[in-house]
Chain A
Amino acid sequence: MTDLILFNVTNGLIIGAFYVLMALGLSLILNLSGVINFAHGGFLALGGYIAYTISPFVGFWAALLISPLLVGLLGLLIERTMIYRLYGRDPLYSLLLTFGLAFIFEDVTRAVWGATGLPFTVPEFLSQPISSKLFFITEYRLFMVAVVALAVGGLFLFLRFSRLGVRIRAGTFDLDTVSSLGVNVRMLRSFNFALGIFLAGLAGVLAGGQLSLEPTMGANLLMPSFVAIIVGGVGSLPGTLLGGLLIGVAAGITTVFWPSASEAVIYVMMAVVLLLRPRGLLGEEGLLS
């Protein structure tokens, strides 16, 4: 029993790590631009597929970096051509636009790479279990958690200490003031959008090695990421981090006792949080509400 629980908690943490990467990207974009990016899952899937296609030529390690960069670049392109037109308008329009983009992404991915799952092979030395007792913890899983921790740590350091990062955080609270202080808000938002998409691409490559590549793999992670953001508190990135891990573990533990409720449990958590603490665990009152 303890082994079973340990197994599922580990599983939950790993799934939670995906939620965190995805939700942090979504949060960045939501906080600064007020856009709920429905296409985020599409970018994630694309990240996985691009890595799958280029890794035979450049190797796994290069693909891990190049694929998210390419996806981030695509995100930048889409932001500069379409999404920027909708800033400051009713959120309805950016929702519908990214919703349409999500349809197109999924369809194009399916047309190019096929509807059936593709295996994305990770380097041999990463696929061994760390011990026979803890057979379910492969080295790849540890590696994945390490990459996520590195990315999240890097992101928080960047936002805390770099000039650009400080501006992004300031913009979350008061974009007008940031703008009147001479910051090019237009560029700031573009960069921020690309950064969010880069994280989605990275999550896609990592998820490709863990789950398998499917056109809907990103869309499946989208809703839990929303829940992570709401549970953690809209507007708070540490909250998003906490929310992602929390719902991952909650889903993992529920799998032990009541497998068929493992998806629904996170929404129950969200309802409880909204009831008891409407702003979310680490959310600021009044922001975006």
Chain B
Amino acid sequence: MTISVRQHTARLSAIWLLLLAMPVWLPAIGGYMALGTRVVILGLAAMSLNFLLGFTGVLSFGHAAYFGLGAYGTGLALKHLTHSTSLAVLLGVLMGGIAGALLGALIVRRRGVYFAMVTIAFGQVFYFIAFRWNKLTGGDDGLRGFERQPLGFGVWTADILHKPVLFYFFVLTLFALATAAMGLLLRSPFGRTLLAIRENERRARFLGIPVEQHIWLAFTISCFFVALAGALNALLNNFADPTMLNYTQSGEIVIMIVLGGIRSFWGPLIGAAVFVVLQDYLSSLTTNWMSFLGAIFVLMVLFFPRGVLGMHWPDMIRSTLARLRQLGTQGGGSAA
């Protein structure tokens, strides 16, 4: 899908306008600020994974581990080490990112289904550690006893703890920095090389590109950003629990990407918005929301594998109409 520069600018401004004005329009349509913040956080997680999945062509189904490590790292730092929110976030990001870098080195030589399976299995280690190490992590009950702290800017202190809107803008700032970094990386020669690997790994290898190194780097970068999302999620809830590390969480991040469109940079954000709002709505409506969620997965894969943004909506409507018309004439023909 090639779009003009003007279209691109228009789309980008629309996204940022919506994000910046969220505190204005979200309450007006019946949403609450924490929901909007969660959309941005999970959007960041999905975009980070898509750096790997959509732009390097490597399927990790275990990113919840690094998301959760970021969350636990931040929570533990705030609880035991520091009263600085920023420092705690940094520590959480380092924890998730470094774990990703180390495990990534073991994983990068695998491909395809095998790669997915190894990432899933490794992801579970951290789930069990968080689940079992009661003393440190609070086990099944989750990690409690920490709160995000106000941010000091010399003369002015931003009370992100008690003012949800301020916290939202704190999250949005980090989101902007992270997505800008990923966008720039993808435009750089390094990012172009990743696309080359995605399109044709063998050819990339023949061109002398060290494919494993690149995939490892992409994996590590993706883990760092997903850990940032996890850190922010811990701050949002003032809480971290083991299900954040579980493979079901990984699956949810992947479905957000697919919902939004796997080849699209901003798609996963929209996928996250759809998913988070739907989950929030369904779980308040019915106790069987897991079935609905499962049905979304199944229907998505069977009927809309290219996602909401990945589809050519005008083409699609045109072809559906044409098919209906054809059916109509055929039906008429056989009746006559």
Contact = CB atoms under 8 A, between A and B. Distances in A.
Given A104-B291, A264-B128, A275-B106, A91 B302 contact: no
Given A91-B59, A267-B122, A271-B106, A100 B117 contact: no
Contact of A288 (B107, B114, B128): B114
A32 interface: no
Interface stretch (B87-95, B152-160, B250-258, B312-320): B250-258
B109 A278 contact: yes
A91 B116 contact: yes
A99 B297 contact: yes
B298 A100 contact: yes
Contacts of A97: 297-298, 301-302
Nearest to B103: A271
B112 interface: yes
Interface string B99-121: 00001001101111110111011
Contacts of B121: 223, 226-227, 230, 267, 270
A86 interface: yes
B297 A226 contact: no
A95 interface: yes
B294 interface: yes
A38 B296 CA distance: 16
B290 interface: yes
Interface-centre pick from A91, A99, A105, A274 (highest chain B CB count, 10 A): A99
Contact of B258 (A34, A96, A264, A288): A96
Grouping DSSP codes into helix (H, G, I), strand (E, B) and loop, the A interface class, with mixed when no group exceeds half, is: helix
Interface in A226-259: 226-227, 229-230, 234
Interface-centre pick from B107, B117, B262 (highest chain A CB count, 10 A): B117
B132 A226 contact: no
Interface in B45-66: 53, 59, 61
Contacts of B110: 278, 289
A275 B108 CA distance: 11
Contacts of B305: 89, 93
A36 B110 CA distance: 15
A112 B121 CA distance: 30
B132 A264 contact: yes
A92 B293 contact: no
B125 A103 contact: no
B59 A260 contact: no
Interface residues of B, number: 45
Contacts of A90: 59
Nearest to A42: B294
A108 interface: yes
B144 to A, nearest CB: 20
A175 B197 CA distance: 26
A264 B294 contact: no
A216 to B, nearest CB: 11
Contacts, number: 131
A95 B298 contact: no
Interface-centre pick from A34, A107, A229 (highest chain B CB count, 10 A): A107
Nearest to B294: A103
Interface string B202-222: 000000000000000000000
A102 interface: yes
Contacts of B255: 96, 99-100
A226 B251 contact: no
B265 interface: no
A267 B258 CA distance: 29
Contacts of B298: 82, 97, 100-101, 104
Given A86-B301, A100-B298, A95 B114 contact: no
A267 to B, nearest CB: 4
A160 interface: no
B106 A274 contact: yes
Nearest to B132: A260
Interface in A256-289: 260-261, 263-264, 267-268, 270-271, 274-275, 278, 288-289
B12 interface: no
A206 B298 CA distance: 30
B296 A100 contact: yes
B225 interface: no
Contacts of A107: 288, 290-291, 294
A6 interface: no
Nearest to A78: B298
B129 interface: yes
B247 interface: yes
A89 B302 CA distance: 12
Contacts of A289: 109-112, 114
Contact of A104 (B113, B129, B295): B295
Given A92-B254, A263-B128, A100 B301 contact: yes
Contacts of A234: 114, 117
9 contacts: A34-B112, A82-B298, A82-B302, A99-B251, A99-B294, A99-B297, A103-B290, A103-B294, A264-B129
Instruction: List 3 A-B pairs, minimum CB-CB distance, nearest first.
Output: A100-B297, A103-B294, A104-B294
Given A86-B301, A95-B254, A100-B301, 7 more contacts: A82-B298, A96-B258, A103-B290, A234-B117, A275-B106, A288-B112, A289-B112
